[in-house]
Amino acid sequence: MAAVQGNASKPTENPRAAHGTDDLEKEAESVKSLPTYDARNNDPFGDEEFAEVKYKVMTWWQCGMIMIAETISLGILSLPSAVAALGLVPAVIIIVGLGLLATYTGYVIGQFKMRYPHVHNMADAGEILMGRFGRELLGGAQILFLVFVMGSHVLTFIVMMNVLTDHGTCSIVFGVVGMIVSLLFTLPRTLKNVSWLSISSFISIFAAVMITMVAIGIQRPGKTVDATVDTSFYKAFIAVTNIIFAYAGHVAFFGFISELKEPAGYPKALYLLQGTNTLLYTVSAVVIYRFGGKDVASPALGSTGPIVRKVAYGVAIPTIVIAGVINGHVAVKYVYVRLFRGTDHMSKRNFLSIGTWVGLATLLWLLAWIIAEAIPVFNNLLSLITALFASWFTYGLSGVFWLYLNYGKYTSSPRKIFLTGLNIFVFCAGAAICGLGLYVSGRAIHESSSGSAFSCANNA
């Protein structure tokens, strides 16, 4: 798609945030001397005063719940095995440290959005950084990453149904059911409507984690726990990637901010997310490891009895579906906005608008289902994709955003010097995670035995 055009010599102030006193706005004021960026529409959804479909209607807490639902899913139950692989002390330091770093990088994304209100996705940000090439590079990476995440949720749905039904039918049938259910929940065009689902998603994953902790606490299958362990770099970094990817929700943050009624409330949504996931990750990982021991399964439900496992998976159904739905919504919205940005079709309820949304959702969920069914070593391939993209979306790119926003001011004050060093570190951390993640995931794929594509076999 052609780049956004316009003749403005200076970005128009965001009218929905102009009267706030939030730190994001103060930071935005400090970078107004940067080279300007031409944009036909300062806002991805335009003027909604008389729009049939209004997008900018979310409150900060609804945004926070969507962010929680997108980020926290059954992957949380893989963290106890990461603690077992790393040792209790290093694992807790890494979980908390990466949580704090993810909070800062999420905040920088908010700064970038306030400086460039028209940014709706990573492709828009890429165009600011690197022109047309950057738009296509980051846009392609975003949609590819999201579709693979959607596929992972289809696969998790298949596993869940096999557990609940004792492999009651062909796994391909379960995959089709999961795809259709996810598609139906993706049909609402606004995030506010999806936000109500996110509340049930959080209740669901919280209940599943509590059931698992209580069951393992009663059964106590583990005998020993270790403060530190002697392990290889390969095994340790595989465990670290589980923790890294538990925070990989930043790819959707620009889109979430775009649908806020008051964008200045975004930091509160971010703190709600990061406070909740860092606390929940740390407590659940430590408690389950404490009672599950060094041989705790991944996911940790495997360390409980078969009945408790079924109960926990049943309780987790809303999370398994809705977390995938939110990623699906963001993927569909990215393509939809690129097609209709600056036109009346964006906010209409006509045949073209509704038909396009339904068609895009159907196409993307069909692709996700094909990926889930066709790739025998799917989990390892997903690790490869997330190493390639999540390392940058969650960490590395935020360092680039800050350095771009503050170009020419890196040594203007002691605070700027410190932040310059921090953001160079953030960029380097993203690059290191990407490189090392590609190594360990590539080795895991090489060492794995392949299964059968489109198989009816029980994958639980």
Q: What is the pLDDT of residues 233-254, one digit of tens each?
A: 888 998 898 898 889 899 999 9
Domain boundaries, the chain: 50-375
| CA–CA distance, 42 with 448 (Å, rounded to integer) | 48
pTM: 0.86
Question: What count of other Cβ atoms lies within 10 Å of the Cβ of residue 256?
Answer: 27
Comparing CA positions, the residue from 218, 226, 178 lying closest to residue 365 is 178
| CA–CA distance, 141 with 445 (Å, rounded to integer) | 21
Instruction: Please tell me the predicted confidence (pLDDT) of residue 32.
Output: 42
Q: Give the chain's residues under pLDDT 50.
A: 1-21, 28, 30-41
E-strand spans in 42-161? none
Which tokens sit at 280? 């929940």
CB 357 within 8 A of CB 335: no
Residue 40 backbone dihedrals phi, psi, to 5 degrees: -70, -40
CB 303 within 8 A of CB 91: no
Cα distances from 114 to residues 107, 161, 405, in angstroms, run 11, 43, 11
Superfamily of domain 50-375, CATH level 4: Sodium/glucose cotransporter (1.20.1730.10)
Which tokens sit at 440? 């360990």
CB 136 within 8 A of CB 123: yes
Q: How many residues does the chain have?
A: 460
∠ CA 232-74-207, nearest 5°, is: 130
CB 5 within 8 A of CB 92: no
User: What is the distance in angstroms between the CA of the first residue and the CA of the last residue of the chain?
Assistant: 42
Question: What count of other Cβ atoms lies within 10 Å of the Cβ of residue 297?
Answer: 18
Residue 318 Ramachandran class (φ > 0 left, ψ -120 to 50 alpha, else beta): alpha
CB 248 within 8 A of CB 70: no
Give every CB contact of residue 311 below 8 A, 6+ residues apart in sequence: 211
Give every CB contact of residue 157 below 8 A, 6+ residues apart in sequence: 174, 175, 177, 178, 181, 182, 320, 321, 324
Instruction: Please tell me the predicted confidence (pLDDT) of residue 18.
Output: 42
DSSP 260: B
Instruction: Please tell me the predicted confidence (pLDDT) of residue 1.
Output: 41
| CA–CA distance, 165 with 368 (Å, rounded to integer) | 23
Instruction: Please tell me the predicted confidence (pLDDT) of residue 282.
Output: 96
